[in-house]
Amino acid sequence: MLPKSIAYKIYWAGRYLERIESVCRMSLLAINNGLSLNAIAKELGLNDESELINYIKTSFQCFREDVRSFADEKVIVQVNSLEFLIDSNRSDLQSYFTQLLNGVYSVGSSLEKFFVEVRSEMRIRAQQENQPE
């Protein structure tokens, strides 16, 4: 049975990972079309490129905290690899965001494998089952 608190953390972990993926995709699109990252930052309500990077880092920190509550060691290793990519050299932005996007895919793949392995242990109850007798 899947406790409500774990389901909540799984949901938010997915949302934070999606945010990182979206920023990477938008940044790559901007770079490939000759735009600066400041334009992407402004679209997200941020001031500049440095705030965009901080947004990624903050989203990752929230993601990591949620994942720690339910994931196994294999997933945590992938999460640590993603953190390394986030903190890596940003001299070539296209390469940086491409590697970061690949890291996001690796973490997502690890999470999928994790849930396939533990799926038999998790069971979401129907609404009727949650009602007191």
Residues 21 and 60: their CA atoms lie apart, in Å, by 11
pTM for the model stands at: 0.84
Q: What is the pLDDT of residue 86?
A: 96
Residue 119: pLDDT above 90?
no
The answer to whether 70 touches 5, Cβ cutoff 8 Å, is no
How large is the average pLDDT for residues 74-78? 93
pLDDT per residue as tens digits for the range 26-52: 999 999 999 999 988 998 899 999 999
Give the per-residue SS3 of 73-128: HHHHHHHHHHHHHHCCCCCCHHHHHHHHHHHHHHHHHHHHHHHHHHCCCCCCCCHH
Question: Which candidate, 107, 111, 106, 104, places its Cα nearest to that of 24?
Answer: 104
pLDDT tier at 15, thresholds 50, 70, 90: very high
